[in-house]
Structures are given as structure tokens and as C-alpha cells.
Structure 1
Amino acid sequence: MEIERKQAELIDHFVKHAATLEAPQLASLIAEATSHPSLFAFSEILSVPNLSKLQGTQYSTSFDLLRLFAYGTWSDYKSNAGCLPALLPDQARKLKQLTVLTLAETDKVLPYDQLMQELDVSNVRELEDFLINECMYSGIVRGKLDQLRRCFEVQFAAGRDPRPEQLSNMIQTLTSWLGSSDSLLHSIQEKIKWADMMSEANKKHRKEVEDRVEDVKKSIKADMDLRGSEEIFAESGVMDFEEDRVRSKRRRQPIA
């Protein structure tokens, strides 16, 4: 997908730059990455070893901010705002978009009241405008706004960076899935093998039936040919016998 290709290109760009910069420039790079309108994954940037230069400096909060954008939500920021840099408007919007993705990970029907609380939005109109303009138009989510039920029905949501504590469960799930896939593949292969054997047996049986039919046809034809020859012989014999009787009578007639 186009959004995934663009994500990969942006991540590669920021990772390469982060590997060559010093602390002040790294802080600026983090601000740029967390403000970028098309970037929604940050764990790879966070894992660049060079970012350790921020620890113990006046820019250490920039590293904490990057971690927040990788794994946190708008509520997390509000709870720790005193320990983090003030957000630029683009960063605030980005963090709220990421919050929607986090909520969509566990629930596919998001009540308006929950969204307004999590996003710090005061009314339904503002919430719907945000979901349409900042989430659906950007391609990170697809869904339906249900004004009657006052909820957002999520049909698709881009995935966020997995949190470190989620990795063990993800590995376990993938391992289980791999085992199930291998078992299913083995079962399918066995069924294919059985189907091939049955097909070969059917071909052999069909060939035997066709050979028998052909033998019967030949036998019938040979029998018909034999009967035809006997009939011709019989007719020829009767005709000769009658001719001989006529000739004999003619020979015995007295000479006048």
C-alpha cells in the first residue's frame, strides 16, 4: 500500500539521520519526526543507539517524548505534561491520531463519549471533524460515523508500534499460529496425496473397464463374423443340392 511504502521511506530517512547527529540536532530531529503528518511509527527511530547521547542532558525529555509517540496516548501526555516538552500543534494532532489507533486496537465500535474524553474534545461536531479530516482522510483508519448510536464503527486501523511488554505475547501468538499453519499444511498435503492416489486408482479402473469393453466388442464382432460365414456356407450348400437334383432328373428322362 502507498501509506506503508511512504512510512518505510520516512522511517529510513529519520533512522539514517539520527545515527549521525549530536544531542541538540537529535532533539530537533525528534521534534520533526513527531510533527511529520505522514509518520506514525517511531520504535525504529527510538532504537537507534545514537539516541543514548540524549540521556543525562537537557534534551533527555525529547527522548521521553519520542517514546511517548511510539507507545503512548494523549491521556499519557496529559498525565506527564510537566516532565515533557510542550507540544507543537502538529505534535498534538499527531498524538491524538495515535490515540485513536490505540483505541481501535481493542474495540471496533468506539463510543463518542469515550473518544471525546480520550481526545479532549468538547462536542460531537469537533470530534466528527477530527475523525473525518485527520484520521480517515489521512488513511490511518476507515470506518462509519453512526450519529444515531453516537459511535464510530472501525473497519480498518493502521497498527501502532508494539509495546515491549506486548512482544512476548505476540511471539507466543505467532508461534502458535505457525504451529497451526504447519499442521494445516500437513493435513492438506495428506489430502492431496490421497486425492492423487484415488485419481490414479480411478484411472486404472477406467482403463480396465475400457479394455474389457474392447474385448467384448472384439468377441461380439468375431462371433458375428463366424455366424455370417456359416450362413453363407449353408445357403451355398442348399443351392448346390437343388441344382444336382435338377440335373439328375434331366439325365434320367427317356429319349423320345
Structure 2
Amino acid sequence: MDIEQRQAELIDHFVKQASTQKGSALGPVVVEATSQPSLFAFSEILAVPNVAELEGTENSAYLDVLRLFAHGIWSDYKSNAGHLPRLVPDQVLKLKQLTVLTLAETNKVLPYDQLMQELDVSNVRELEDFLINECMYAGIVRGKLDQLRRCFEVQFAAGRDLRPGQLGSMIQTLSNWLSTSDNLLVSIQEKIKWADTMNESDKKHRKDVEDRVEEVKKSLSHKNHSNTEICWSMCLTYIVAEVTHCKQADVDFRGHEEIYSEPGGVMDYEEDRSRPKRRRHPMS
């Protein structure tokens, strides 16, 4: 069973439990949910009316704990430990896992020193064991441990609950991505259309040259030896014309590439032009 399906089942389970409890009876439900090894999303539980009613009551600490696990990190707990219930070891582990997820949202390279400070880890070996055993094996992150550079390179990180005010920025990011994708699609379509046009033009020109060559061949079969040099001269004229056309098409193609390609493509073209030309030998 994948992590998403397992989470969906756990969320449904705890939402049903929270819906049947009130007041202090919600305490054990919150502790169990925030200790569950396979659960990393809590917004649905926070949205249960019975949980929201804890606000401003003597049991509001349970609501604060649930909010901490939905949006906070380990340093947030340390800053407010005096106002929150003491966490059990499974909750501590879960909150540190969520801390790694939060850091991985905005940084794809996490220095060991930053991680050790955020997670209260004393040495590199303990940190790497935590990242491997409690994060990567759990399926919430994937990445590479770079011992030489003393950092964790993030390749994938599971998402957390959206924090208040975060939805607007996410919508804006997606809108920008959509606009960029539309512009790229238009450029690709224009390039395909240009390539099709050039291909048809080249086919037509090649057909014309082949027809002319066939005419010369027929002439050769009917002419005497004295006219052979004239016929060969005509052939050479058509061949030179074909070569000139191909060179011009290549220049047009490279010029079109400079419009759509990255600057690196222009550098390749310049390097190609700087290569020494082959020495031509006169034809006898």
C-alpha cells in the first residue's frame, strides 16, 4: 500500500474519531494522530467542528498541538514548550520528520550544520542515520547524502498541510507556470511549421535538380563525343547550383535556430565556422 493511500485511510479514521468526541476526550485522539508513523497531514482533523470548538477553552492546548503538527517545526515547539503538553517520543520523532519536510520545501540543498541545529542532533552520524532511517525509508523524502560537502541534496519531498495565506502564493506560482508553458508551446508550434515548410521546399528543389540531370543524361545518349564536354559542363553547373542551395538552406536553418535556441547553440555554430576548410583540388 502506498503512502498516499495509507494516509487517506488514517485521516478518515481520525476524522471519524474526532467527530464523536468533545472537550478533554479529544486529547487522546490528538496524541494518537500526531504519533501515528504513517500520518503527516492534519488539516482535515483540524477542520472537524468538535476540534475547532476547543479554541479558548481549558482544553485549547490540544488544538495548539494539532496546529503545531500541521504547520510548525521542532523549533516552534521548543519556543512554546511551556504552553504545550509534553510530547511523547513518537510525537518528537514525527515533529522532527515534519521539520525536514518544511526545510526541503524551499531549499534543495540542506547543509548538515543547519539540519543538526534545527533537529537538535549532536553529530553527523546521528543526522545521517535519522535522514536515512526515519525520512528516506519512511518515503517522505528522497535525496543524496554528500559527506564531502556536508549536505543533503533533496530530490523529492512530500507536501505538508498548507499554512494560512499560502494558498494565494501557490495559485500565483501555478498561473505563472501555465503562462510560461503556453508561450513555449507557441514557440514549438512555430518551429515545427517552419521546419515543415523548409522540408517541402527542399524536396521540390531536389526533384527539379533530379529532373534536369535526367535530361542531361538523355542528351548524352544522343550526342556525339564532341559535345560530351558541353554536357558535362552542364552537369557541373547543376551540381554547383545544388551545393549552393544546400549551403544557403543550412545558413537559413542555423539563423532560425538562433531565434529559438539557447545561446549555447550559437556558440556551436561559431565553433563550426572556425574549423579549417578542406583544400579543394581542381577537376581535370
Normalising by structure 1, what TM-score?
Answer: 0.70
Report matched runs for 1:1-256 at 5 Å: 2-15=2-15, 17=16, 20-24=19-23, 26-49=26-49, 51-141=51-141, 142-144=143-145, 146=147, 151-156=150-155, 157-213=157-213, 216=215, 220=219, 224=222
Task: Return the alpha-carbon distance in structure 1 between the equivalents of residues 20 and 206 of structure 2.
Answer: 77
User: What SS is found at the alignment partner of 1:54?
Assistant: coil
Calculate percent identity across the aligned residue pairs. Answer: 67
**Structure 1 unaligned blocks of 5 or more:** 228-256
Q: 1:183 to 1:8 in 2, by over 3 A?
A: farther
Q: Does the CA contact (< 8 Å) of 1:18 and 1:45 recur in 2?
A: no
Task: State the Cα deviation string for residues 88-142 of structure 1 (Å, max 9, x = none).
Answer: 2111110011112222334444444433332233444433432332223223233
**Structure 2 unaligned blocks of 5 or more:** 225-284
Task: Return the alpha-carbon distance in structure 2 between the equivalents of residues 197 and 93 of structure 1.
Answer: 62
What's the offset of the Cα at 1:187? 0.9
Q: Does the CA contact (< 8 Å) of 1:109 and 1:154 recur in 2?
A: yes
Task: Return the alpha-carbon distance in structure 1 between the equivalents of residues 70 and 123 of structure 2.
Answer: 28
CA RMSD of the aligned region, Å? 3.2
Q: 1:201 to 1:144 in 2, by over 3 A?
A: same
What's the offset of the Cα at 1:85? 2.3
Task: Return the alpha-carbon distance in structure 1 between the equivalents of residues 71 and 53 of structure 2.
Answer: 21
Task: Return the alpha-carbon distance in structure 1 between the equivalents of residues 144 and 154 of structure 2.
Answer: 5
User: Residue type of the partner of 1:155?
Assistant: V
User: Residue type of the partner of 2:144?
Assistant: G
What's the offset of the Cα at 1:82? 2.5
Task: State the Cα deviation string for residues 130-162 of structure 1 (Å, max 9, x = none).
Answer: 23322232232333152x65x332233333333
Q: 1:56 to 1:210 in 2, by over 3 A?
A: same
Task: State the Cα deviation string for residues 190-244 of structure 1 (Å, max 9, x = none).
Answer: 1112222222333333444455555x279549x74x99xxxxxxxxxxxxxxxxx
Task: Return the alpha-carbon distance in structure 1 between the equivalents of residues 101 and 191 of structure 2.
Answer: 42
Between Structure 1 and Structure 2, whose CA radius of gyration is higher? 1
Q: Which moved more, 1:19-28 or 1:66-75?
A: 19-28
What's the offset of the Cα at 1:9? 4.2
- The size of the alignment, in residue pairs, is 221
Q: Does the CA contact (< 8 Å) of 2:30 and 2:66 recur in 1?
A: yes
Q: Does the CA contact (< 8 Å) of 1:74 and 1:119 recur in 2?
A: yes
Task: Return the alpha-carbon distance in structure 2 between the equivalents of residues 140 and 104 of structure 1.
Answer: 11
Q: Does the CA contact (< 8 Å) of 2:26 and 2:51 recur in 1?
A: yes
Normalising by structure 2, what TM-score?
Answer: 0.64
Higher RCO, 1 vs 2 (CA within 8 Å, ≥6 residues apart): 1
User: What SS is found at the alignment partner of 1:164?
Assistant: coil
Task: Return the alpha-carbon distance in structure 2 between the equivalents of residues 160 and 153 of structure 1.
Answer: 19
Task: Return the alpha-carbon distance in structure 2 between the equivalents of residues 204 and 45 of structure 1.
Answer: 69
What's the offset of the Cα at 1:68? 0.8
Q: 1:65 to 1:208 in 2, by over 3 A?
A: same
User: What SS is found at the alignment partner of 2:144?
Assistant: strand
User: What SS is found at the alignment partner of 1:86?
Assistant: coil
Q: 1:193 to 1:12 in 2, by over 3 A?
A: farther
